[in-house]
Chains A and B, each alone.
Chain A
Amino acid sequence: MNLIQRQRLLRDHLLSHPAAAASEIRGDASAGLAVYHHAYRAQLIDCLRDTFEKLALWLGDELFETTALAYVEANPPRSWTLADYGADFAAALTKIHPDDPEVAELAWLDWVLRRAFDGADAAPVSADALSEVDWDAAVFTFVPTLSLNLMRTNCAALWSAMAEDVMPPPAALLSASGTIRVWRSGLSPQFKTISSLEARALQLAMAEYSFGEICAIAIDEANDSNAVNAAGQLLSVWLSDGIIQGVR
Chain B
Amino acid sequence: MTSVARFQGFGLGLRPPHYQEFLAQSVPVDFVEVISENFMVAGGRPLTILDAVRERYPVAMHGVSMSIGSADGLRDDYLIRLKKLADRLRPLWVSDHLCWTGVEGFNSHDLLPLPYTEEALELVCANVRHAQDVLERPLVLENPSSYLVFADDEMSEWSFLAETCQRTGCYLLLDVNNIYVSGTNHGFDPTAYLAGVPADRVRQIHLAGHSAGRGLLIDTHDQPVPDPVWSLYEAAARKIGPVATMIERDDNIPPLTELLDELDIARARSLALKGAA
| A→B interface (CB under 8 Å) | 2-4, 6-8, 10-11, 14-15, 23-27, 29, 31-36, 39-40, 43-44, 47, 76-83, 85, 116-121, 144, 184, 187
A31 touches B153 (CB 8 A): no
Interface set, chain B 63-102, CB cutoff 8 A to A: 65, 70-72, 75, 77-78, 100, 102
Distance in angstroms from B119 CB to nearest chain A CB is 5
A135 to B207, CA, bound (A): 62
Please give, as numbers and ranges, the residues of chain A lying within 8 Å of B75 by CB-CB distance.
Answer: 80
A121 touches B71 (CB 8 A): no
Given A7-B71, A26-B149, A35-B213; A119-B42 close (CB under 8 Å): yes
B107 touches A26 (CB 8 A): no
Give the top 6 A-B pairs by smallest Cβ distance, nearest first: A32-B148, A121-B43, A4-B71, A32-B147, A118-B41, A120-B42
A3 touches B41 (CB 8 A): no
Q: Does B235 contact A (CB under 8 A)?
A: no
Chain B interface residue count: which class?
Answer: 35 or more
| B→A interface (CB under 8 Å) | 37, 40-48, 65, 70-72, 75, 77-78, 100, 102-110, 112, 115, 117, 119-120, 123, 146-153, 185, 213-216, 218
B151 touches A25 (CB 8 A): yes
6 new A-B pairs (CB below 8 Å) besides A2-B119, A29-B148, A31-B214?
A: A3-B117, A4-B72, A36-B148, A81-B65, A118-B42, A118-B46
A8 touches B104 (CB 8 A): yes
A4 touches B107 (CB 8 A): no
Please give, as numbers and ranges, the residues of chain A lying within 8 Å of B70 by CB-CB distance.
Answer: 7
Given A119-B44, A121-B44, A187-B48; A32-B37 close (CB under 8 Å): no
B151 touches A26 (CB 8 A): yes
Interface centre among B109, B119, B213, B214 (most CB of A within 10 A): B109
Please give, as numbers and ranges, the residues of chain A lying within 8 Å of B44 by CB-CB distance.
Answer: 116-119, 121, 184, 187
A36 to B185, CA, bound (A): 14
Interface centre among A3, A24, A29, A121 (most CB of B within 10 A): A3
B105 touches A78 (CB 8 A): yes
Please give, as numbers and ranges, the residues of chain A lying within 8 Å of B148 by CB-CB distance.
Answer: 25-26, 29, 32-33, 36
Given A26-B153, A40-B108, A43-B110; A80-B119 close (CB under 8 Å): no
Given A4-B72, A6-B115; A82-B151 close (CB under 8 Å): no
Given A26-B151, A31-B147; A3-B216 close (CB under 8 Å): no
Can you list 16 A-B pairs, Cβ within 8 angstroms, ordered by A?
A: A3-B71, A4-B72, A6-B150, A10-B112, A11-B104, A11-B106, A23-B151, A25-B151, A26-B151, A31-B215, A32-B146, A32-B147, A80-B77, A81-B37, A118-B45, A121-B43
